[in-house]
Chains A and B, each alone.
Chain A
Amino acid sequence: MSVGYVLKEGFAGLGRARLAALTSMFSLFIAVLLIGVLFRLGYNAYEVTQMLNQQVEVEVFLDDMNSTDTQLMEERLMENSGITGLTYISKDSAAQVFQQEFGTGGEAIAELDFLPASFRLSISEEYSVAQVDSLVQEINTYEGVNEVRFNMALLQMIESRTETLFIVGGAIGIFILLVAMILVFNTIRLTIYAKRDLIKAMKLVGATNAFIRRPFLVEGVLQGIIAGGVAAGVIYSLFHWAIPYFMPQIGVLSWPFGRWYYLISGVVVLAIFLGWWGSRWAARKFIKDMGVSS
């Protein structure tokens, strides 16, 4: 097998059936662009829900207790795996918070010293509403705990929105991927059909099907690189320049996993995979079934 020949033919193939190759690259481009944008938006939406989730705090109001009992209570609370951190707010601090929130008008009441000491608990992001609820029930049974409060409605809303986001986003993603696969398969089949004379001539002189397929695979990968490269450029420009410029309020959202190149390289790799796979699928089927006579 001549690697040089296969590569040369693969590169030349792009120029030989330009329209078919362009159609194929355009389908690949649209498919990976949509998937890339969807992934970025989905990731950012997920990030927002996680951020909101982190902001939900559980407040544990305590009966009057001495510092030793408070220390024991803190240790007992930290034994729960769902609690990632806690802050103790003494009666004095509670009065200060009250004053800050109510301004000077609250001073008279604050002096009454009726506010209880409390713990503010940070709950693990992975905890569901039901788990938080059961944790709250448990803490409520602790001796020295007067009341436990948390914003269950907000947590429930975040949880249900996250679930919807995953289901809808996942379904759209799978749908786009399926459509892209069929589209890529068909357009690459058209590219191969446009070269049927070449394939017939190759079969006639004794080229094996595997040999005939190889330049098409190279061409599919090249189409993937070009389509993926352009899609990556568009996604980068969109989220790095266009959105921060036109919608600065949401422009601060980060790239998935903290770096721009994860998504960008993911898009290119996906396009290459689709190009390779589409060519392989179409070439296998089409070349095998094709006769050599006119």
Chain B
Amino acid sequence: MSNEVIQMTDVSVAYNGTPVLDSINFSLDVGEFCYVIGRTGAGKSSFLKLIYKDVNPTKGLVKVADFDLSNLADKKIPYLRRRLGVVFQDFQLLPDRNVFDNVAFALRVTGQKKRFIKQRVIEVLGLVGLSHKRKAMPDDLSGGEKQRVVIARALANEPRLLLADEPTGNLDPEASASIMELLHQINNRGMSVLMVTHDYEVIRKFPNRTVQIENGSLQDIKVL
């Protein structure tokens, strides 16, 4: 098994002939935490989509969690995604089922046994501090709590890598800080975290490796 959970070599992405990412190189080690910053439209989301294979590179090599995405058949994409946890800014919780079922859903759709599902959901809800809210409906939760449920769902399948697309974007500073603490706690348990953000305050408060996407290229930077 490679020590790198993500490996990109000379990767380009274009939409209808317009380049978004141009010959970028990037790698993320197992257990590493990395921020991705850049202006709106710079290609941050495309960068994440490359990793969970929602877009294909126009050229270059992408390897994620031991999957070679360049040759990955469409049928194999679900198996790649089971190795990733994805957290979006807009939560994407299912409003018609409670917290427990929202998390259990990730395990049910991958065909896990009922007993295991119950045990694992209780475990991850405990990890994000929401065991007591397992019967609550999403509409009854605060923004921070919703994001915790999404993180719990992302962790349910014990992924190797957590991708977070502006997870604090819709949250107040206090909830934001608590989500960042949770992400670092998860990272400390050995999981790699790749987080897209444009909140420099968050980066200053929780410093980690940071890469910037600008004009189609990607480079490591220091945020002061």
Whether, in the assembled complex, B86 has its beta carbon less than 8 Å from a beta carbon of chain A, the answer is: yes
* Contact present for B94 and A197 (CB under 8 Å): yes
* Contact present for B109 and A202 (CB under 8 Å): yes
* Contact present for A206 and B54 (CB under 8 Å): no
User: Which B-chain residue is minimally distant from A16 (CB atoms)?
Assistant: B96
Across the interface, which residues of B come within 8 angstroms of A288, CB to CB?
Answer: 74
Q: Give which listed residue, A197, A207, A291, contacts B109 with CB less than 8 A.
A: A207
Across the interface, which residues of A come within 8 angstroms of B114, CB to CB?
Answer: 2
* Contact present for B157 and A198 (CB under 8 Å): no
Q: Give which listed residue, B92, B105, B111, contacts A1 with CB less than 8 A.
A: B111
Across the interface, which residues of B come within 8 angstroms of A206, CB to CB?
Answer: 78-82, 106, 109-110, 157
Number of interface residues of A (CB under 8 A): 23
Across the interface, which residues of A come within 8 angstroms of B49, CB to CB?
Answer: 293
B51-81 vs A, Cβ < 8 Å mask (1 yes, 0 no): 0101000000000000000000011001111
For window 96-146 of chain B, which residues contact chain A by CB distance below 8 Å? 96, 105-106, 108-111, 114
B74 to chain A, nearest CB (A): 8
Across the interface, which residues of A come within 8 angstroms of B157, CB to CB?
Answer: 205-206
* Contact present for B111 and A201 (CB under 8 Å): no
* Contact present for B110 and A294 (CB under 8 Å): no
Q: Give which listed residue, B54, B106, B108, B156, contacts A293 with CB less than 8 A.
A: B54
- Given contacts A197-B92, A198-B94, A206-B157, whether A293 and B81 have CB atoms under 8 Å apart is no
* Contact present for A292 and B52 (CB under 8 Å): yes
Whether, in the assembled complex, A203 has its beta carbon less than 8 Å from a beta carbon of chain B, the answer is: yes
* Contact present for B110 and A201 (CB under 8 Å): no
Across the interface, which residues of B come within 8 angstroms of A293, CB to CB?
Answer: 45, 49, 54, 88
For window 194-230 of chain A, which residues contact chain B by CB distance below 8 Å? 197-198, 200-209, 211-212
User: Which B-chain residue is minimally distant from A4 (CB atoms)?
Assistant: B114
Whether, in the assembled complex, B148 has its beta carbon less than 8 Å from a beta carbon of chain A, the answer is: no
Whether, in the assembled complex, A142 has its beta carbon less than 8 Å from a beta carbon of chain B, the answer is: no
- Most central of B45, B54, B114 by chain A CB within 10 Å: B54
Whether, in the assembled complex, A5 has its beta carbon less than 8 Å from a beta carbon of chain B, the answer is: yes
Q: Give which listed residue, B74, B96, B106, B111, contacts A2 with CB less than 8 A.
A: B111
Whether, in the assembled complex, B90 has its beta carbon less than 8 Å from a beta carbon of chain A, the answer is: yes
CA A207 to CA B111, docked complex, whole Å: 9
* Contact present for A205 and B109 (CB under 8 Å): yes
* Contact present for A201 and B78 (CB under 8 Å): no
Across the interface, which residues of B come within 8 angstroms of A200, CB to CB?
Answer: 92
- Given contacts A205-B81, A294-B88, whether A2 and B54 have CB atoms under 8 Å apart is no
A117 to chain B, nearest CB (A): 82
- Given contacts A1-B111, A5-B108, whether A203 and B94 have CB atoms under 8 Å apart is no
CA A18 to CA B112, docked complex, whole Å: 29
Across the interface, which residues of B come within 8 angstroms of A208, CB to CB?
Answer: 75, 78
CA A294 to CA B3, docked complex, whole Å: 31
A218-258 vs B, Cβ < 8 Å mask (1 yes, 0 no): 00000000000000000000000000000000000000000
* Contact present for A294 and B105 (CB under 8 Å): no
User: Which A-chain residue is minimally distant from B113 (CB atoms)?
Assistant: A2
User: Which B-chain residue is minimally distant from A1 (CB atoms)?
Assistant: B111
CA A292 to CA B80, docked complex, whole Å: 14
Nearest first, the 7 closest Cβ-Cβ pairs linking A and B are A206-B82, A207-B109, A205-B106, A206-B81, A206-B78, A208-B78, A291-B54
> Chain A: residues with CB nearer than 8 A to chain B?
1-2, 5, 16, 197-198, 200-209, 211-212, 288, 291-294
Q: List 29 A-B contacts (CB under 8 A).
A: A2-B108, A2-B111, A2-B114, A5-B108, A16-B96, A197-B92, A198-B94, A200-B92, A201-B94, A201-B105, A204-B52, A204-B86, A204-B92, A205-B81, A205-B106, A205-B153, A206-B81, A206-B82, A206-B109, A206-B110, A206-B157, A208-B75, A208-B78, A288-B74, A292-B54, A292-B86, A293-B49, A293-B54, A293-B88
